[in-house]
Amino acid sequence: MDVERLVQMANDIAAYFASDPDREAGIEGMLGHIQRFWEPRMRRQILAHWQAGGAGLSALAGEAIARLAQAELRSA
């Protein structure tokens, strides 16, 4: 999948979870969504993009992807 599309999708998900007044809950909600609904290939692509600087990712999306990276390291 095109990484620009993944960034757009991540930002759309982040915008939804940004409505939660508890920022921590929003980050965790987004992380859970990506872990449940994104294929491993999509997760690998967004992680690689984030590791390369994460151009275009919103702040909340970037934080959720950072936590995804930590979760992936723990499960490896």
Each domain of the chain, given as residue ranges in start order, spans 3-75
- The pTM for the full model equals 0.92
pLDDT beyond 80 at 76 = no
**pLDDT of 30:** 97
d(CA 5, CA 30): 17
- The two tokens of residue 7 are 């960034």
Closest by CA to 31, choosing from 73, 76, 75, 66, is 66
pLDDT in tens, 51-62: 999 999 999 999
d(CA 50, CA 21): 25
Percent pLDDT > 90 in the chain is: 91
pLDDT in tens, 16-47: 999 999 999 999 999 999 999 999 999 999 99
**pLDDT of 5:** 98
**pLDDT of 73:** 84
d(CA 43, CA 69): 9
